[in-house]
Every structure is written in C-alpha cells, then in structure tokens.
C-alpha cells in the first residue's frame, strides 16, 4: 500500500455549455465517489476560495494512482501536484 | 471546528551540536504528540525524500492553530504553508 | 469568529459582450455589498493599477468563507490568495 | 492620506543572543505601538503559522511610510511587500 | 505629491482586427500624452525587445494614480507592476 | 514495485574541513553503491555543470524509497525532487 | 554518444476534434516507437497524475536530439525541459 | 558598439492557417538574414528541444536593437529576454 | 548614449561591524554622487519599505554602465536587475 | 562537436580572505584561458551589472563539458545554467 497527497486545481472554460458542464461534473463526482467507496480515495477536502481540492490516496502502487487520476473526467482541465507520503516517526497512530 | 492542511519544511543547520539537536527533536516530538493525543493534530505524514511533513489539523479556530504551530520547538527552522480546508461536495463521508 | 485576508485578482476576457459584462459586475457588486452589510466582509480595497482587490473577512468558520467566495459571480474569472490571520501580540487594540 | 497594505516577513538568526533578541523585540513593539497610537499604523495581524504580519497603514505620503518601515528595529531581518491601495467602487463604507 | 515607478506589459491578441487595434492604440497614446502634458506622467521609456514600458509618475495620491492607470484603453490587456518611491539619501538633487 | 525519478542537488559549505568532506563523500558513495548493487537504485547520472544527479529507483514502496534517501550521508546538504513514475503507453519495452 | 533526460509536458486543447486528436496521438506513438526501436530513445515513463513523460535519450549529438524532439507530432503542444547528463563517479555500472 | 544576448521563445497558435504561417516564417527568416548579413545579428542558435533561439547582437545602441527585435514578423508571438554584455576580464580575445 | 533602468537590492549582514559599515556606506554614497554629478547616474529613488533603489543611467555604452555598477563598494552585497531602455513612441518629450 | 551556452553566476563570501580570493581568481582565470586557447571555450562575456558571465562552448561531448565546468576553481561558488544548442535554420553561416 502506498499513500499520496494530491492537490488538484480545476480550470474550466467560463463559457462552457451548461449541459456539457453539468454532465462532466456529474461523471466527475461518480468517478471520485466510486474510488472513495472502494477505499483508495481516502479523503477529499475543498481548498477554501479555490476551485481546487486536496486529497489523500492509499493505493496498491503508482500504476493504480495514475489510473485513478487519468480517468477523472475533469483531468484535461486539471493541474495536479502529487506528493508521495511515508510514515512519520512522530505519528502516535503508526 | 476548522480544518487545515499544513506543510512544514525543516532546515536545521548541518553543524548543529548533536546534544542540542537531540534535545530539540525530543521536545518537538513531545509537542506534536501532545496535540495528536488531544485531537487537534489529526494526521502527520513524512514527505518522501524531504525533511518535511504534511499534516492535517482540526482546531477551534485560527488562534489555536497559530498557538500550536508557533509553539513548535523547530518553528524557527521551519517554513510553513497553511491551507484552510472546507467540506468537498463529492465527499462520501460528509 | 475567524479573520482572513483575501486577495482577489480578476481576469475577464477583453472581448466579453458588454451587456453580459455589465450584468455580471452588477451581480458581483450586490453579492459583495450584501456580505459587507451583514458584517462578514469587513473591508475591501482596490490594489492600485491592478484589476484586483484586497479584502478582510470576519467569518464564522472556513465553511462560511468558502460559501461567500464561491458564490461570487466573478469567481470563475478570479484567482484567490487566502491568508488566515490571528491576533498580533503588538496590536494595541487587541 | 494614502493607504497601503504591507506584509512583513521576519527571519531572525536562530542562534541570536537571548538578551539581544529580547531587547530588539521590545524596541520593535514600542515602535509599532507608537505609530498605532498616532494613527498611521491602522491594523496589524499575525499570519497564521508564519513569523510574519499583515498590516494596514494610512500615512501622509510615500515618504512617511518609508520612514516608519525603515525605522523598525527588525527592518534588517525583514522582507517587505508593499501594496498601494485605493478606494474600491463596491465599498459600502466609501 | 507621491512618486511611483510603473512597469506596464502589453499582451494584445495577435489576431485583433487591424482597425480596432489602430483605434485602441490611438486612444492609448492620447490618454498617455494628456497626462504627460499635465505633468503627472513624468517619463515613459520602451523596454528593449519587449511590448512593455517603464514609466515614472508624480501624482497627488494613490487614488489619482489608479484613475490614470485604470483609464488606459489598453488596461484590459496589461499587467502592471507598481513600485512606490521615496527620496534616496544619496540623491544629489534632493 | 514502484519506480521513481529523483533529482538530488548538493550544496556543501565551501569552507568544510577537507578530511570531514572526504569522509562524508566516501560514505555517500558506499551508501549509493550498496543500493545500486541490491537493485533498488537503478541508474545515477551527473547533471552537466551542476553538483547534482538524476537517479532512477525501483523500490518496494514509498517507505523504502524514503529510507534510502534519508539515509544518504549528504542528505542534510541536499534538495530532492521526487517524481513518481508509471508505465507509458508508448513504451515498446512495457 | 550523448545522454539527455527530457521531461515533456503536453497541453492539448480540451475541445480538439476527436478524430484529429486520435490521428495526432497515433502519429506521436509511431514516431516515439521508431526512435525507441532504433535505440536513441532509451526509456519513457509516465509522470503519475500528469499528462507528461520523463524520457532518457542516447543520441549522436545535440543536432540529432533536436531532430527527434522537433519531429514529434505533439511538439507544438509540448513544453520540454532538457538536461544534459554525464557519467556519475558513484555509478557501479560505469 | 554594444553587445547583447537575446533569448527568443516562440509561441505560435497550433491552429494557425498553414499559408499564413508559411508566409510569416518566410518573412521572419528574411528579416533575420538581412540583419545577419549587415553584421548586427552576429549569431543565432536553436535551443535544443524548444521553439526558441539564443542570439548575439552587436548594435549601434539600444535604439537599434529595439528596432531589429520589434520589426520581427514573429514579435507578437515571442517572449524575449535581453541581457546586455560587456568585455570579460578573462577573455583571451579582448 | 544608452539609457538603462537598474534596480539594486542590498543585503548587508545584520552583524557587520558598525565602523566597517559606516565606512562602506560613506564610500558608496561618494561613488554614487560622483557619477550623478558627471551626469551618467541620472536619477536614484528609494523603493518604499525596501533596502533597494531604482536608478536611471545614461551612459556611453554597456562597458561604462558595468564599470559604474561593478565599482560600487556595496556591489558584493547587491542583486542588480538591468533593463535596457529605448525611446517610447508616445513620449511627448522625445 | 556539441555547442552549449552556459550562464555562470558567482556568489563569493564578502568576507573571504583577500589573498585566498586573489589566488582563487588567478587560478580561475588560468583554467578559463587554457580552455579558450585550446578552442573549447569559444566566447566569454560579462553580464552587465552582475557577477556573472555568459559563455559559448564547443566540446567533444557532454563528458568534456562537465570536466571543464567541474574543474573551475570557482565551481563551489557558482550556479550554472546549461543550454544545449543546435544549428538554426535561419543561420546564414550554417
């Protein structure tokens, strides 16, 4: 199991067709929630004042993380920052 | 309750006295674990290949977050990046 | 209560339809003034020479700040920088 | 009267003599409070998790702002970002 | 009186209609020269190899500087960097 | 197995004692070669004109990569950039 | 023979015609694989969470590297970072 | 005589009409070669893997350099970095 | 004649000997004023809130500008940004 | 033969012993001039107002370029930017 923090910034064209946008966002939500329910997408938070989120993933390996991120319907509109994480020696839960 | 992500980068002088360093790190660990046990410092992960951590805090307010961070024995050697978080509309746990 | 500084930079397309633009700006002003009157949006200043403002907010929590910012009609055209603030020990008014 | 936002970041040497440091900080506080009391230094807030503040000044002119900032005992240890401000057309108080 | 340096970078769409462009540039020149003649816009130089200028302003206050810059017909296509200036102690003319 | 690219930049103090430096570099080389021989540190190249290298790792997981990097005798003098890698769909060898 | 690391970031317009896009990607893959088979394009990896790759080239000289990169059908949509590499003194294989 | 290094980065729209593009590039080449033949544009090299060049100019003064660069048919699509050069004390040819 | 804007940022060690510092600053002032009086150093302004100045030079050529700047007693403590200037087509004085 | 542009920025400690400094600079000059005379170090220019140079190299390969740069007595005090160059299609001399 490998843990990663991923920050995703979204930049949708302001003049996108409203129906296309609604459909895109619905598929985005479904893809995200499917991976939350199966346990790989552990946490997702909104960054205040930004069209961006910070997420924590626990995946099998790098390949699986890329599969999840690449499959996001919003991927072509996103900028990702991926940070691999390890156990911290001060962690009381580790 | 307010949630924040904080990235802390540490830059200790390479020629620091070994005893002073060990004492500093012991006090740092104690301060961090005290706030983990009381529940405000929810998670702490090591950023792979860096003397840095990514942490999640759930605090009463901005004042309390600053009190925790400012009180870190390593604070004078740290660069912090603080990101306020809110609930994400796709979060299955919210 | 939590205090934040927010810098908002606006990047409107130069060829936007004049009526759509006027409508957008009128709704932006109304949204801003509603939150100024209810007390959460404490100050707003123009940054000289920029289509940008610096604002101070006093909100209930992170969730409320995000609700205010996300609801701005200009939000899709804005880049935000959010800085959480705390009391300063030299503040004569604190 | 001219209004400015100033962000001040402090970088004190970690090994500074404790007495010299205490003296420096006491003189810094006195200088700041003198200008707060005379009205030019309108607000000062701590940036959460940083040895930094965000301040609002209302001064006679650029010369006076520079005199106040240059006179800060911590000036040699500070990095300043100065933003000139003007009235915002959406300001309900203007 | 307050002195400022302003660097203005222009980014016009390469496919702009030639007449619209000529009209825009003529109005830009007129606005600039009106403020040069009235004395607020003291100097304007082209930055070599860039569609950019460096200008010096001597204005009544921040409000007037913003009025001049905001009124530029090219303002929507410009990125500005504003630097407030003060007297230098080595200036032989001061 | 997880593959990573790591760029390591070294910043040694120019006035370091020659013996301490030679000892440090010898231990650095031994640590690197031990992990090259066991297979985790797959490639190491010098970046031309820089005291820096680009390396490829194939490790068990994030924890092992951090263990290898953190254990480098030069770690306190290094800045690391870690890039997680996955299979590329155009790779003829995959 | 000269070795280089090249990081290629792709930024395709989100509204590109699906057929034109498929044709472009097929020609991109063919060009890449031709140079992989002839030995100059030694390795290609996907950067996790990004539309980007990291590649290693072993070419005759700078001219040949530029010919390969410039000839990529995706070149007009790419940002390249080219790092010349040399043998590292700790390399157990050199 | 004044010497300058100029780095020119080109960003042409990927969907530009093929004939317009060919005409633009032909005029660009003619303008560059005219100034190479008259001696002001001393050297021009392609930056490997980039739609960019590094050039050396020896011109009468700043005005002439700006005239040459501003006159480039590709100027509206270029980002320039201009570095004024002087004789180096270690130059064996000076 | 060639015109340049130069921004000079000063970073003096905070613990410099007071006499050495006073001597350095006196020599700096003398060098600056000598070139102001001979006409090459046309203007010098303090950047508000910074240990920095913005200066305008009118020199014979690049060599002379470098001679003036390199000769500054504070040169080893300065970071310079040099911008070559040309006549602007909107300049009413040109 | 491979051509490169290299920008070298020097950052010598301001309090370096005068003799050590003079010796270092003499050895630097000798090393540079030896490679200028043998033809690999084709050009060297001072960047105006900076302790920096821009140089052009024509070397056998990446290994030789690194050998020359790494061997510079000032190397531990330098930051290098290396740009591989190729023939430009508009070059009248190519």
Can you give the pLDDT at residue J14?
86
Q: Return the DSSP state at I76.
A: G
Question: What pLDDT is recorded for position G15?
Answer: 85
For the stretch J10-36, pLDDT in tens is: 999 988 999 999 999 999 999 999 999
Interface chains of chain A (3 or more CB pairs under 8 Å): B, C, F, G
Torsions phi, psi of B61, nearest 5? -170, 180
Residue C15 CB partners (closer than 8 Å, separation 6+): none
Q: What is the model's pLDDT at position G39?
A: 98
- DSSP 8-state assignment for residue J5: E
A20 pLDDT exceeds 90? yes
Is residue F11 within 8 angstroms of chain J, CB to CB? Answer: no
Residue I15: per-residue pLDDT:
85
- Residue of C80, J64, J56, J77 whose CA lies nearest to F12: J77
Average pLDDT in chain A: 97
Do residue C49 and residue E66 have CB atoms under 8 angstroms apart? yes
Q: Using alpha carbons, list the distances in angstroms from residue I57 to E94, F91, I6, I32, I39.
A: 17, 56, 8, 11, 8
**pLDDT tens-digit readout, A31-49:** 999 999 999 999 999 999 9
Min Cα–Cα distance to chain E from H37, Å? 20
pLDDT in tens, H36-72: 999 999 999 999 999 999 999 999 999 999 999 999 9
Q: What is the ipTM of this complex?
A: 0.95
DSSP state of F50: S
pLDDT at J43: 98
Residue G55 backbone phi and psi in degrees, to 5: -130, 150
pTM of the model: 0.97
Looking at the complex, report in whole angstroms how far the Cα of residue A49 sits from the nearest Cα belonging to chain C: 5
Question: What digits encode the pLDDT tens for the residues F73-88?
Answer: 999 999 999 999 999 9
Helices marked H in A14-80? 18-37, 62-70
**Residue B39's pLDDT is what?**
98
pLDDT at E14: 86
Phi, psi of G79 (to 5 degrees): -115, 125
Q: Which residue has the tokens 């709704």?
A: C27
The residue extents of the domains of chain H are 2-85
Name the pairing type of β-strands E41-47 and D78-87: unpaired
Residue D49 touches chain B, beta carbons under 8 Å: yes
Closest residue of D to E4, CA-based? D62
Q: Is the pLDDT of residue A14 over 90?
A: no
pLDDT at B12 > cutoff 90: yes
- Whole-number pLDDT of residue A26: 98
Burial of C89 (C-beta count, 10 Å sphere; 0-12/13-18/19+): exposed
Q: Residue B51: its chain F contacts at CB < 8 A? A: 75-76
Q: Which residues in chain J land under pLDDT 70? A: none
Q: Which residues in chain D have their CB less than 8 angstroms from residue B76's CB?
A: 12, 14, 51
Percent of chain E exceeding pLDDT 70 equals: 100
Give the number of other Cβ atoms within 10 Å of residue D90's Cβ. Answer: 19
**The token pair that represents B50 in the structure block:** 């860096």
Residue with tokens 């929810």: B42
Helix (H) / strand (E) element for H77: namely none
Task: Say yes or no: B53 contacts chain A, CB-CB below 8 A.
Answer: yes
Chains touching C by CB (3 or more pairs below 8 Å): A, B, D, E
Q: Specify which residues G8 forms β-bridges with.
A: G53, G80
Give D45-77 pLDDT, tens digit per residue: 999 999 999 999 999 999 999 999 999 999 999
Taking CA–CA distances from D30, the nearest residue in chain C reads C90
Give CA–CA dist J6/H38, Å, rounded.
Answer: 27
CA B67 to chain centre: 11
Query: What is the model's pLDDT at position H65?
Result: 98
pLDDT value, residue H15: 85
- SS3 readout for chain C: CEEEEEEEEECCCCCCCHHHHHHHHHHHHHHHHHHHHCCCEEEEEEECCCCEEEEEEEECCHHHHHHHHHCCCCHHHEEEEEEEEEECCCCCCC
| pLDDT given for residue H14 in this prediction | 86
Distances (CA, A) of G40 to A27, B67, G61: 41, 56, 11
| Residue whose tokens read 């509109």 | A77
Tokens 């070397």 belong to residue: J59
Mean pLDDT of I18-39: 97
Distance (Å, rounded) from C-alpha H10 to C-alpha F3? 34
Q: What is the mean pLDDT of residues B55-76?
A: 98
What pLDDT score was predicted for residue J94? 84
Residue B91 has what DSSP assignment? -
Are B69 and D46 inside 8 Å of each other by CB?
no
**Is the model's pLDDT at F41 over the cut of 90?**
yes
Report phi then psi at E80, rounded to 5: -110, 145
A19 has a chain F CB within 8 A of its CB: no
- What contacts D93, CB < 8 A, 6 or more positions away? C36
> Which 3-state string (H, E, C) describes chain B?
CEEEEEEEEECCCCCCCHHHHHHHHHHHHHHHHHHHHCCCEEEEEEECCCCEEEEEEEECCHHHHHHHHHCCCCHHHEEEEEEEEEECCCCCCC
Give CA–CA dist I28/I12, Å, rounded: 13
Our CA-based measurement puts residue E82 at a distance from the nearest CA of chain D, in whole angstroms, of: 8
Choose among H53, H86, H46: nearest CA to J44: H86
Q: Is the pLDDT of residue D15 over 90?
A: no
Measured between CA atoms, how close is B29 to chain A, in angstroms? Answer: 6
pLDDT higher than threshold 90 for residue D37: yes
Assigned token pair, D52: 């930094």
pLDDT of residue I41: 98
Are A8 and A55 in contact by the 8 Å Cβ rule? The answer is: yes
Strand-pair partners of A39: none
> Residue B94 in contact with residue D32, Cβ under 8 Å?
no
pLDDT, tens only, C27-67: 999 999 999 999 999 999 999 999 999 999 999 999 999 99
Binary contact (C84, B63; C-beta < 8 A): no
Question: Which residues in H lie closer than 8 A to residue J84 (C-beta atoms)?
Answer: 47-49
How many beta carbons lie within 10 A of that of residue G87, not counting itself?
15
Between F11 and D1, residue with greater pLDDT? F11
CB atoms closer than 10 angstroms to residue E46: 24
Distance CA B93, CA B87 (A): 10
Give residue-wise pLDDT tens across range G35-67.
999 999 999 999 999 999 999 999 999 999 999
Select the CATH number that applies to the domain covering A2-85 from these four: 3.40.50.2300, 3.30.70.1060, 3.30.70.270, 3.20.20.70.
3.30.70.1060
What confidence score (pLDDT) does residue H24 get? 97
Top residue of A4, A76, A82 to mutate, by most chain G CBs within 10 Å, is: A76
| Cα–Cα dist B44/B53, whole Å | 7
Reply yes or no on whether the pLDDT at E15 is more than 90.
no
For residue B19, the surrounding DSSP H or E stretch is: helix B18-37
Average pLDDT for E58-66:
98
Overall average pLDDT of the C2-19 stretch: 95
């Amino acid at each position: 199991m490998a843990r990663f923090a991923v920050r995703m910034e979204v930049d949708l064209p302001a003049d996108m067709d409203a129906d296309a946008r609604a459909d895109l966002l619905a598929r985005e939500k479904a893809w995200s929630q499917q991976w939350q329910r199966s346990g790989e997408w552990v946490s997702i938070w909104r960054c205040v004042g930004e069209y961006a989120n910070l997420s924590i993933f626990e995946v099998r390996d790098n390949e699986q993380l890329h599969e999840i991120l690449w499959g996001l319907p919003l991927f072509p509109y996103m900028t990702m920052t991926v940070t691999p994480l390890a156990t911290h020696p001060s962690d009381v839960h580790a």
